[in-house]
Amino acid sequence: MKILVTDDSRVMRQIVIRTLRQAGYDDHDIVEAVDGRDAFEKVGSEKPDLVLSDWNMPEMSGIECLEALRAAGSQVAFGFVTSEGSPEMREKAANAGALFLIAKPFNEDTFKDALDGVIA
Amino acid sequence: MTLQEAQPITALLDPETVQSIADEIWPTLVGDGEAFVPVPVAPPAEVVSAWVTITGPWNGAVVLTCAPATAGALAESVLMTRPPTVVDDEDVADALGELANVLGGNIKSVLPGPSSLGLPQIGSAPATGRLDDVCRVNGQWRGQSLTITVQGATEALHPSGTEVPQ
């Protein structure tokens, strides 16, 4: 399985990748994107099975990326990893087609709860 | 709603809530067993700040301030670097900005909404405005001064083009 980790913070991408490993998802291919636009393009070029994306990013936000992907016909599995998890954002994410929203701070248990069933 | 009509932060948030949010963030983001301790120590001569803005019924910023050396140590802890690996300035700014970002996101979630969060910024902390629109926790991490300030907006706080609508 290939996972596309999207965050404008290199530090946070490293933390997400580390947490994936700690949660036991250590035998998957990881690719990275630096913002929503980069993620949109890499869904086309890298063909990931899952996108883990920050919400608030320059160029194109995570929710704009998800909406653009669905508008373009992509049904790639998509989940948010973001610094806020208000009910409004969770509803907006779900309505746009996201499978889950992980709020920061998170740990490996948070990842397992969200990803079990999504990652084979 | 205008800024004048909005409630000041002291009516919306108390230092205990800020501390409880920091209590969740430090062990998960900074590292196992790490803590932001709400006991002030002498402020450093030179400081650096990272902050995110909150725009909504309450307008302001969540600011994290410490000495540059403390920011470097925080980045090393967040990234779990071990010698001889060293963090560069970009990593330090990134790590401090992400800490401010996660603090800001969690503080935003306990404030009246809907509101949006700006992207992390680094530098000299924005000026504070009204005294009753500041909620500050002076504390320490590994014995070094660290301050979390939730402060109301002044005109200079919102340069155009820094906010990403959600």
Q: Check CB contact under 8 Å for B29 and A105.
A: yes
Least confident of A26-30, A92-96, B126-130: B126-130
The average pLDDT across B150-158 equals 75
Instruction: Name the domain count of chain B.
Output: 1
Using CA coordinates, name the residue in chain B closest to A9: B94
Number of A/B CB contacts below 8 angstroms equals 70
Residue B164 domain flag: no
pLDDT value for B165: 40
Rounded to a whole number, what is the distance in Å from the CA of B13 to chain A's nearest CA?
17
The domain of B29 spans: 9-154
From chain B, the residues in CB contact with A11 under 8 A are 75, 78-79, 91, 94-95, 98
- How far away is chain A from the Cα of B144, in angstroms, using its nearest Cα? 22
Instruction: Reply yes or no on whether the pLDDT at B156 is more than 80.
Output: no
> Looking at chain B from residue 7 to 36, which residues have their Cβ under 8 Å from any Cβ of chain A?
24-25, 28-29
- B49 close to B68: Cβ distance less than 8 angstroms: no
Judged by CB atoms closer than 8 Å, whether chains meet at B95 and A11 is answered as: yes
Please check the confidence at residue B103 and state whether its pLDDT lies above 90: yes
Q: What is the ipTM of this complex?
A: 0.92
Number of Cβ within 10 Å of residue B11's Cβ equals: 12
Do residues B150 and B136 make contact, with C-beta atoms less than 8 angstroms apart? yes
Mean predicted lDDT score pLDDT of chain B: 90
Cα of B65 to nearest chain A Cα, Å: 19
The answer to which of A13-22, B23-32, B124-133, B153-162 has the lowest mean pLDDT is B153-162
Residue B159 in domain: no
**CA nearest A14: which of B12, B46, B147, B77?**
B77
Distance CA B44, CA B48 (A): 10
Show the 3-state SS of chain A: CEEEEECCCHHHHHHHHHHHHHCCCCCCEEEEECCHHHHHHHHHHHCCCEEEECCCCCCCCHHHHHHHHHHCCCCCEEEEEECCCCHHHHHHHHHHCCCEEEECCCCHHHHHHHHECCEC
Cβ-based contacts of A12 with chain B (< 8 Å): 94, 98
Closest partner residue to A86 (CB to CB) among B101, B109, B119 is: B109
Question: Which among B113, B135, B147, B82 is positioned nearest to A85, based on CA atoms?
Answer: B113
In a domain, B94, yes or no: yes
Question: Cβ contact (<8 Å) for B105 and A18?
Answer: no
pLDDT average, residue stretch B127-141: 92
Q: Do B97 and A85 touch (CB under 8 A)?
A: no
CB contact under 8 A, B106 and A83: yes
Decide if B35 is inside a domain.
yes
**Chain A residues touching residue B95 (CB < 8 angstroms):** 11
The answer to whether position B161 is within a domain reads no
- Report yes or no on B166 lying in a domain: no
Residue B92 lies in a domain: yes
* B4 domain-assigned: no
CATH of the domain at B147: 3.40.1550.10
**In A, which residues are within 8 Å of B94 by CB distance?**
9-12
Architecture of domain A2-115: 3-Layer(aba) Sandwich (3.40)
Provide the pLDDT confidence category of residue B91 given band limits of 50, 70 and 90: very high
CA distance B75 to B30: 8
